[in-house]
Structure 1
Amino acid sequence: MGQPPVIYGQSSRPPRGDYARAGADYTCTQNYAAYTEAEHALYQRLYARQEALLPGRASQQFITMLAQLGARERIPRFADINAHLQAATGWQIVGVPGLIPEEPFFALLAQRKFPVTDWLRRPEEFDYIVEPDLFHDLFGHVPLLLHPVFADYVQRYGEGGLKAMRLGAGEMLARLYWYTIEFGLIREDGALRAYGAGILSSPGELEYSVSSPAPQRRPLELARTMRTRYQIDSYQRTYFVIDSFEQLFTLTAPDFTPLYAQLRGLPAFSADATDAA
Structure 2
Amino acid sequence: MSIAMATEAPGAFQGTLTDKLKEQFDAGLLSGQELRPDFTIAQPVHRYTSIDHAIWRKLYERQAEMLRGRVSDEFLQGLATLGMEKDRVPDFDQLNETLMRATGWQVVAVPGLVPDEVFFEHLANRRFPASWWMRKPEQLDYLQEPDCFHDVFGHVPLLINPVFADYMEAYGKGGLKAAGLGALDMLSRLYWYTVEFGLIRTEQGLRIYGAGIVSSQGESIYSLDSASPNRIGFDVRRIMRTRYRIDTFQKTYFVIDSFEQLFDATRPDFAPLYEELRAQPTLGAGDVAPGDQVLNVGTREGWADTEDI
TM-score where L is the length of structure 2: 0.84
Looking at structure 2, the residues matched to 49 and 82 of structure 1 have their Cα atoms a distance apart, in angstroms, of 24
Identity between Structure 1 and Structure 2 (%) = 52
1:18 has 2:18 as partner: no
Looking at structure 2, the residues matched to 227 and 19 of structure 1 have their Cα atoms a distance apart, in angstroms, of 37
Describe the superposition over 1:89-134 as per-residue Cα deviations: whole angstroms up to 9, x where unpaired: 0000000011111110000000100000000000111111111000
1:33 has 2:46 as partner: yes
CA gap 1:27/1:130 in 2 versus in 1, 3 angstroms: same
Equivalences for 1:125-204 in 2 at 5 Å? Answer: 125-204=139-218
Equivalences for 1:112-123 in 2 at 5 Å? Answer: 112-123=126-137
Query: What is the root-mean-square deviation of aligned Cα atoms in Å?
Result: 1.9
SS of structure 2 residue aligned to 1:145: helix
Partner of 2:302: none
The match for 1:98 among 101, 112, 116 is 112
Shift of 1:70: 1.7
Describe the superposition over 1:182-229 as per-residue Cα deviations: whole angstroms up to 9, x where unpaired: 000001115110100000000000111111111111111111100000
Describe the superposition over 1:15-56 as per-residue Cα deviations: whole angstroms up to 9, x where unpaired: 546246422211111011111122112111110011100111
CA gap 1:28/1:6 in 2 versus in 1, 3 angstroms: farther
TM-score where L is the length of structure 1: 0.94
Looking at structure 1, the residues matched to 286 and 192 of structure 2 have their Cα atoms a distance apart, in angstroms, of 15
Partner of 1:60: 73
Looking at structure 2, the residues matched to 147 and 86 of structure 1 have their Cα atoms a distance apart, in angstroms, of 12
CA gap 1:230/1:5 in 2 versus in 1, 3 angstroms: closer
Amino acid at match of 1:18: L
Shift of 1:65: 1.2
Q: Extract structure 1 runs of 4+ deviating beyond 2 A.
A: 4-11, 13-22
Amino acid at match of 1:40: H
Could you tell me whether the CA contact under 8 Å between 2:4 and 2:115 is conserved in 1? no
CA gap 1:97/1:48 in 2 versus in 1, 3 angstroms: same
Could you tell me whether the CA contact under 8 Å between 2:4 and 2:13 is conserved in 1? no
Segment drifting more, 71-80 vs 154-163: 71-80
Report how many aligned residue pairs link the two structures: 273
Partner of 1:42: 55
Partner of 2:295: none
1:247 has 2:258 as partner: no
Could you tell me whether the CA contact under 8 Å between 2:233 and 2:254 is conserved in 1? yes
